[in-house]
């Protein structure tokens, strides 16, 4: 004779459902807390590295490109180039590398525009290398790393905006360079607290995306350029 099946009592069914719901809530809350810690920790590191000025001598000063208009650097780019000029004059490195391609219709690349600007300020042309490729941070860093490797150069001090420093340094080290940072202290990236907060948020998202996918994610500035 087959054993008789007994239906679960309604109270037990409700208790089982409530238990599963509690576990689901705990998992969601735990995931949100972990996400908050990850984002908050990354934002803190972006802010922390932005404050570092490392003047250790290097093989090259690398200036990350930014917008230029018919050969004239934007205010963002100009601030980076002026920083590189000061580092060169201080003897941090014997050469400056400018990097960056051009948009459709542009007459100049970012790298060429930067080189011309630095030459006009007095750095000899032989001490400037223009790497005229790179449409985003990752491609620019990879192009620089390739050119430096071909010349048996291995160390670089990176010049960009403060909030961009951690991501550029991370990418440069991933590309095999010994890299540290000496970011700008002038320009739209640091004009206001609003631009600073926007820069930290933007770079936190971009860095997390890079660490997750190893693809670049460059976002446009909202500050005037």
Q: What is the pLDDT of residue 221?
A: 46
Q: What is the pLDDT of residue 222?
A: 42
In this structure, are strands 155-159 and 60-64 parallel, antiparallel, or unpaired? parallel
CB distance 166 to 127 below 8 Å: no
Q: What is the pLDDT of residue 59?
A: 98
List the chain residues with pLDDT less than 50.
Answer: 221-225
| Pair of tokens at residue 194 | 């609003």
61 HSE (CA, 13 A, CB side): 33
Q: What is the pLDDT of residue 215?
A: 84
pTM score, whole prediction: 0.82
Q: What is the pLDDT of residue 90?
A: 97
Q: What is the pLDDT of residue 225?
A: 38
């Amino acid at each position: 004779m087959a054993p008789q099946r007994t239906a679960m009592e309604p109270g037990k069914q409700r208790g089982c459902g409530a238990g599963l719901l509690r576990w689901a809530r705990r998992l969601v809350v735990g995931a949100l807390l972990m996400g908050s810690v990850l984002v908050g920790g990354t934002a803190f590191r972006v802010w922390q590295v932005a404050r570092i000025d490392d003047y250790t001598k290097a093989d090259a000063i690398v200036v990350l490109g930014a917008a230029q208009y018919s050969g004239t650097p934007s205010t963002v780019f100009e601030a980076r180039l002026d920083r590189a000029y000061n580092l060169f004059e201080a003897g941090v490195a014997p050469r400056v590398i400018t990097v960056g391609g051009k948009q459709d219709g542009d007459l100049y690349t970012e790298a060429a525009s930067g080189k011309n600007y630095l030459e006009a300020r007095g750095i000899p042309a032989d001490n400037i290398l223009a790497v005229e490729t790179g449409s985003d941070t990752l491609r620019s860093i990879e192009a620089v790393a390739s050119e430096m490797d071909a010349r048996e150069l291995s160390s670089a001090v990176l010049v960009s905006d403060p909030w961009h420093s951690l991501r550029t340094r991370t990418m440069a080290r991933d590309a095999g360079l010994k890299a540290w940072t000496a970011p700008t202290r002038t320009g739209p990236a640091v004009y206001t607290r609003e631009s600073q907060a926007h820069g930290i948020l933007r770079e936190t998202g971009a860095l997390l995306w890079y660490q997750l996918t190893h693809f670049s994610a460059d976002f446009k500035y909202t500050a005037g350029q």
